[in-house]
């Protein structure tokens, strides 16, 4: 097999919609609107709520990204995996380990492991794949070769060494992958802020078009897009595009496939691939991002969030699953961001002993967290309670 058939890098053009298309389709206006909404949402949240919310968003992003790949791991099972509680069923355990791997990579991104420029580089893309695959169980580290009807081992971070076809798209030869990703890095890694937001969508497709790995390309593309938006927009990891893509998965896949098509005539740009299809996908991608910011902003409106959490606490108290006055602790933390343990008696109107029991039960339920037995109390957002506290974040079933 010829590993490099010498394809010209122009096969991947256009890398971005042209100036006329940017203007006519309002792409820079969409990018600006997204930047403003994202900054406004982050600025509206108490600083102490950002970290626990980002933890929940990581689980959400993992759930929906895996769902797109046909791997449906329940959010509660994902949360259990993070606590090293695994199913006795081997297949389910493998999916839990896959979810845990995805979250570990996203946490590394969220904590600054991958800058926006590096995330759009050949080395950064390889590192994303390597970090994800190194944490996978053995059963998920091989792929089916339909031509030879054999299982092929998946090497973490290694570019594919054989031809692949995804739907109607025949990807470039394996030996050409590094050349095309060097062009990818040169174009997308040196743009201004708004152009980089637009590029997050365009690069998402072009990476899938190159299909650099035997498997895992979809997850790597979504993690890459998350990394680009995280740094370019300073999102705080408080929202993620995967939920919107999964909720519109047929349109997502259809628009991606359309971007594989050749130019549709003289009015469709000057590249090999369709510029209008790339613009359609970019509009869709940016609108999905805006929708996800708006969704999370609505969920986190202080009065509505407080009402949902306090109502839950009242019901738990009625069922003797929480101590009376527990809701007052949650309310105080929502208002202040955190609560010194010594303030719990005054907040609840109880003695020290009763206050310690209230605190202990809230910690046991996973709705509070604390870095040490003497550290302040902070709110936590357990996936098991997402349906009550954050309705719509995950599917009802």
DSSP 8-state class, residue 68: H
Which DSSP string do the residues of 294-319 spell out, in sequence order? HHHHHHT-HHHHHHHHHHHHHHHHHT
Give the per-residue pLDDT at 265.
87
Contact 357, 273 (CB under 8 A): no
Domain made up of 9-299: CATH architecture: Orthogonal Bundle (1.10)
**Mean predicted confidence (pLDDT) in 104-112:** 95
Give the per-residue pLDDT at 238.
96
Task: Classify domain 302-389 at the CATH topology level.
Answer: Arc Repressor Mutant, subunit A (1.10.10)
Give the per-residue pLDDT at 317.
96
Handedness of CA 204, 206, 212, 216 (dihedral sign): positive
pLDDT above 90 covers a percentage of the chain that reads 86
Q: How confident is the model at residue 330 (pLDDT cuts 50, 70, 90)?
A: very high
All structural domains of the chain with their residue ranges: 9-299, 302-389
Which range has highest mean pLDDT (62-66, 143-147, 269-273)?
62-66
Q: How confident is the model at residue 69 (pLDDT cuts 50, 70, 90)?
A: very high
Taking 70 as the threshold, does the pLDDT of residue 73 lie above it?
A: yes
**Mean predicted confidence (pLDDT) in 106-130:** 91
Residues 6+ apart with CB under 8 A from 43: none
Residues 6+ apart with CB under 8 A from 96: 73, 77, 78, 80, 81, 86, 87
Taking 70 as the threshold, does the pLDDT of residue 116 lie above it?
A: no
Q: How confident is the model at residue 396 (pLDDT cuts 50, 70, 90)?
A: low
Tell me: the pLDDT tens digits for 193-232? 999 999 999 999 999 999 999 999 999 999 999 999 999 9
């Amino acid at each position: 097999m010829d590993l490099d058939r010498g394809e010209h890098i122009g096969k991947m053009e256009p890398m971005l919609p042209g100036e006329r298309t940017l203007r006519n389709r309002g792409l820079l206006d969409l990018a600006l609107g997204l930047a403003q909404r994202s900054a406004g949402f982050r600025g509206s949240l108490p600083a102490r709520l950002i970290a626990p919310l980002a933890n929940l968003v990581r689980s959400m992003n993992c759930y929906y990204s895996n769902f797109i790949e046909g791997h449906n791991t329940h959010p509660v099972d994902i949360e259990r995996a993070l606590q090293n509680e695994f199913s006795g069923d081997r297949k389910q355990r493998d999916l839990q380990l896959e979810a845990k791997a995805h979250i570990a990579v996203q946490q590394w991104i969220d904590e600054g492991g991958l800058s926006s420029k590096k995330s759009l580089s050949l080395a950064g893309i390889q590192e994303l794949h390597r970090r994800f695959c190194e944490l996978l169980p053995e059963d998920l580290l091989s792929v089916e070769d339909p031509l030879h009807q054999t299982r092929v081992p998946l090497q973490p971070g290694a570019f594919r060494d054989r031809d692949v076809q995804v739907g109607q798209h025949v990807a470039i030869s394996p030996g050409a992958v590094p050349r095309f990703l060097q062009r990818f890095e040169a174009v997308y890694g040196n743009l201004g802020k708004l152009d980089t937001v637009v590029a997050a969508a365009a690069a998402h497709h072009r990476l899938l078009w190159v299909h650099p790995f035997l498997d895992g390309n979809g997850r790597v593309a979504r993690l890459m897009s998350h990394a680009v938006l995280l740094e370019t927009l300073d999102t705080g990891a408080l929202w993620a595009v995967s939920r919107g893509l999964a909720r519109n998965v047929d349109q997502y896949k259809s628009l991606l496939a359309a971007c594989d098509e050749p130019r549709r005539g003289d009015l469709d740009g000057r590249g090999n691939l369709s510029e209008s299809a790339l613009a359609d996908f970019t509009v869709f991608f940016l609108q999905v991002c805006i929708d996800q910011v708006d969704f999370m902003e609505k969920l986190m409106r202080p009065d509505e969030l407080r009402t949902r959490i306090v109502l839950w606490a009242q019901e738990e108290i009625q069922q003797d699953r929480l101590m009376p006055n527990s809701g007052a602790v949650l309310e105080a933390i929502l208002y202040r961001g955190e609560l010194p343990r010594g303030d719990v008696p005054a907040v609840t109107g109880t003695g020290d002993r009763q206050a310690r029991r209230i605190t202990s039960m809230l910690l046991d339920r996973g709705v509070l967290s604390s870095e040490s037995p003497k550290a302040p109390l902070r709110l936590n957002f357990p996936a098991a309670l997402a349906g009550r506290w954050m309705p719509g974040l995950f599917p009802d079933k």
